[in-house]
Amino acid sequence: MKRRDFVQQSTLSGTLVLMNPSLILKKKTKHIGVQLWSVRDAADQDPKGTLQQLARMGYKEVEGYKYENQKFYSYTPVEFAKLLKAVDLKMTGAHTGISLHHWDASSRTLNDLAKQTIDDHATIGVKQLICPYIDEQWRTPENFKQLCEVFNHVGEACKKSGIQFGYHNHDFEFKKSGDTTFMDLLMKQTDPGLVIWEMDLYWVKYANEDPAHWIKRYGKRIQAFHVKDIADSPKRESIEVGEGTIDFEQLFKLPEASDVIYYIVELEDYRTTSLEGVEVSLRNLKSILAKV
Whether the CA torsion 3, 168, 254, 281 is positive or negative: it is: negative
DSSP β-bridge partners for residue 68? 71
Query: Using an 8 Å Cβ cutoff, are 37 and 266 in contact?
Result: yes
DSSP β-bridge partners for residue 104? 109
Look at residue 180 and give its three-state secondary structure.
Answer: strand
pLDDT at 195: 98
Please state, in angstroms and rounded to a whole number, the distance separating the CA atoms of residues 242 and 283: 9
Query: Using an 8 Å Cβ cutoff, are 168 and 202 in contact?
Result: no
Kind plus residue range of the DSSP H or E element containing 281: helix 274-289
Give the CA count within 13 Å in the CB-facing half-sphere of 18: 0
Q: Is this prediction's pTM over 0.95?
A: no
Query: Using an 8 Å Cβ cutoff, are 39 and 274 in contact?
Result: yes
pLDDT in tens, the chain (292 residues): 565 655 555 542 333 333 444 444 455 789 999 999 999 999 999 999 999 999 999 999 999 999 999 999 999 999 999 999 999 999 999 999 888 888 888 888 999 999 999 999 999 999 999 999 998 888 887 888 888 999 999 999 999 999 999 999 999 999 987 888 999 999 999 999 999 999 999 999 999 999 999 999 999 999 999 999 999 999 999 999 999 999 999 999 999 999 999 999 999 998 899 999 999 999 999 999 999 9
Look at residue 194 and give its three-state secondary structure.
Answer: coil
pLDDT at 99: 80
Q: How many residues does the chain have?
A: 292
Please state, in angstroms and rounded to a whole number, the distance separating the CA atoms of residues 189 and 91: 29
pLDDT at 22: 44
